[in-house]
Structure 1
Amino acid sequence: MDQFQFPQTRKHQTRHKKRLTQGQVRILETNFNFSNKLDPESKSRLALELGVPPRQVAIWYQNKRAREKNHSLEADHKALQQQLENAVAENARLEGEVERLKAELNKIHDVLKAFNSSRSCEEVARKSLSSEQNLEKEFYAALIGVRDPFVATDGYDFFGSSV
């Protein structure tokens, strides 16, 4: 016999596994709710009570744990998916808020620039007006023959605002 040959007895055996009845499933569910792990003693007791092989009880428990885990993972996935959707919606709302605030900031910045440029225009106008007034004073001083147009030779200020 070759060392790699396997016995043919199990290969062609067809076992017909019985489906569990609703009553058997109810009993298994009740025991599972009490404890989701199955010790050998409980497995033998349940198998005897249900009239099925202990292996079938063990497989049912294993499958039930897998279904519960799968159900739990699906619930967790749905919860995470909802959190993600909420976070994406909040992110979009915040991005809109940022854009609105940037636009508002730009408007305020433009108003500030306009204010600063109008202030500098006012200052230029004031300086220009002041220099026009000085030119006017110099002109009148030249007409009356005064060297320092702002102070008369006798110390009297002709252009002062003492009126």
Structure 2
Amino acid sequence: MERSQYSQTQEYPFIKNKKRLNQEQVRILETNFSFNKKLEPDLKYQLALELGVPPRQVSIWYQNKRAREKNQSLETDHRALQQRLENVLAENASLRGEVERLRGEVYRIQELFNGFNSSVSSSCDEVGSSKHDLEREYYAALLGGGGGQFVAFGGL
């Protein structure tokens, strides 16, 4: 006989024995699952008797429940990682903006310094003071050393 000539119950005789679990049966399985994720053989047979279903159905329910729980856990982890990624990307964009702002400040200071350097060169010739001392004083003023006083600054 060809395969198409078999009826579903002849081909798969166990299908007619499978019953859908009712809410109370599911509640009992859920309660047991919350205490123990792995199904021991004794518990499997005890639950099967209590629920009035084949032990194999209890085993499959546990297996499916673990798979669903794992998928939910993966989805939760994925959402958390996605949120962390979005936060890091936002912080990265903020830091890039800050870097650009600081580069602009450095550029402005360099321009001021270059202008100062050219004016110091001509004044040093006239006054006779050291260009190096004036540069140090200028850096100190830029860094908040008050009143134009000379502030010692690292290798300058």
Distance in 1 between residues matched to 2:33 and 2:73, nearest whole Å: 16
Unaligned runs of 5+ in 2: 1-5, 128-156
Q: Deviations over 1:91-138 (max 9, x none)?
A: 0000000000000000000000000001112245x28xxxxxxxxxxx
Normalising by structure 1, report the TM-score. Answer: 0.68
**Alignment partner of 1:98 is 2:103:** no
2:57 maps to: 56
Partner amino acid for 1:51? G
Could you list the structure 1 runs, at least 4 aligned residues long, displaced by more than 4 angstroms after superposition.
none
2:123 maps to: 122
Q: Deviations over 1:30-73 (max 9, x none)?
A: 11011111010000000011000000000000000011111111
Normalising by structure 2, report the TM-score. Answer: 0.71
Unaligned runs of 5+ in 1: 1-7, 128-163
The SS at the match of 2:43 is helix
1:31 maps to: 32
Distance in 2 between residues matched to 1:36 and 1:46, nearest whole Å: 14
Cα deviation, residue 18, structure 1:
1.1
Distance in 2 between residues matched to 1:11 and 1:101, nearest whole Å: 79
Distance in 2 between residues matched to 1:49 and 1:57, nearest whole Å: 11
What is the Cα-based RMSD across aligned positions, in Å? 1.8
The SS at the match of 1:36 is coil
The SS at the match of 2:72 is helix
Cα deviation, residue 12, structure 1:
1.2
Number of residue equivalences: 118
Distance in 2 between residues matched to 1:19 and 1:102, nearest whole Å: 68
Q: Structure 1's 11 and 106: CA in aligned 2 closer, same or farther, altered over 3 A?
A: farther
Structure with greater helix share of residues: 2
The SS at the match of 1:38 is coil
